[in-house]
Amino acid sequence: MKTLLTLLVGLLLTTVGSAQTPDYSQFKTNDEENNIEIFKSVSPSVVNITNSRLVRSFYAFNPQEVPQGSGTGFVWNEEGYIVTNYHVVQQADRVTVTLQDGASYAATAVGVDPDKDLAVLKIDAPDTELVAVNPGDSSLLEVGRKVIAIGNPFGLDTTMTVGVVSALGREIDSVSRRKIRDVIQTDAAINPGNSGGPLLNSLGQLVGVNTAIYSPSGASSGIGFAIPVNTVKRVVPELIAYGRVQTPALGIRQIPQADYYRRQWGVEGVIVLDVFPGTDSERAGMRGLTRTQRGRIQLGDVIVEIDGQAVNDEDDYADVLEQHSAGETVNVKTVRDNQFHEYNIRLLSPSSR
């Protein structure tokens, strides 16, 4: 108590006896120091993304460029690759990336994944101007851990908000309506314009990509969502190398409108429509739908498990396959005629059906 009183008296005397601004740095808490350090080190990696579309007027022949929206992104590496949300650049004819120093560059989309709401852009900027983020490990997150979001909400560039991990393992719908799994929920304020920006831990490491909010008003209500960095680390290299995620194939075709037919037939799993000839699935004896002599459709195999992981629908099916590569062999369990069947299937490259 005496020490605190001495500091306050000293501060008062300094203020009264001098016109200089007092030094408040001695009153910073460890948490404040951490926030300031993270902002200074990571904010150079955060970029502003604006996009526009070319629209042809009914009364004019020349197309006009119309601003479509803005968002946030971050530098993935010094080669000029920028990561953001797919919905930030969706349907854009022109995308511009602005670095923290104000330099702007035209960007091209090198790869997109609507299922995970991720996109990778490329800009031609000197590597000396590019500061890459440091990816962390989202599997180490716990509810209550501090997280920091940096982005451009409502066009206000390089804004930082602080919160905690509110929940883990959430699911949200992507642009393609497919479920994004293991999403991070946070109460760090995330508003329109924050999409595509980094969510950071107390070490300044990337742990997620801010992608959505739950809000009746459209502004932050304390419920924001981020795609986990472990998903980002798996997807982004494939988008850079191939332009899309290289999900291997099982050699089957799935039935369209699967939810409807699952309800009609009272089954769970992925209904096999047919099996491609010359594949391991065909050689192992997997079957698709058939017709009886009376024209009645008869179910074939329904995939319920792959390598010990339950498969209840097409989202589960895709999530499991994305964990593997072409050439690997997986154990597939199906139900047919009320009996379980098991197959060892070598996965095919995406271009092989």
Which of the following is catalytic: 45, 70, 87, 301? 87
3-state SS string for the chain: CHHHHHHHHHHHHHHHHCCCCCCCHHHCCHHHHHHHHHHHHHHHHEEEEEEEEEEECCCCCCEEEEEEEEEEEEECCCCCEEEECHHHHCCCCEEEEECCCCCEEEEEEEEEECCCCEEEEEECCCHHHCCCCCECCHHHCCCCCEEEEEECHHHCCCEEEEEEEEEEEEEEECCCCCEEEEEEEECCCCCCCCCCCEEECCCCCEEEEEEEECCCCCCCCCCEEEEEHHHHHHHHHHHHHHCCCCCCECCEEECCCHHHHHHHHCCCCEEEEEECCCCHHHHHCCCCCEECCCCCEECCCEEEEECCEECCCHHHHHHHHCCCCCCCEEEEEEEECCEEEEEEEECECHHHC
CA distance linking residue 216 with residue 224, whole number of Å: 13
CA distance linking residue 181 with residue 102, whole number of Å: 35
Closest alpha carbon to 136 in 236, 261, 260, 228: 228
What angle (nearest 5°) sits at the alpha carbon of residue 72, between those of residues 70 and 73?
130
Which of the following is catalytic: 166, 195, 220, 281? 195
Which of the following is catalytic: 115, 117, 187, 319? 117
117 given a catalytic annotation = yes
Taking the CA atoms of residue 88, residue 89, residue 92 and residue 95 in that order, the dihedral angle to the nearest 10 degrees is: 110
Contacts of 339 (CB under 8 A, 6+ apart): none
195 given a catalytic annotation = yes
Q: Count other C-beta atoms under 10 Å from residue 93's C-beta.
A: 13
Question: Annotated active-site positions, please?
Answer: 87, 117, 195
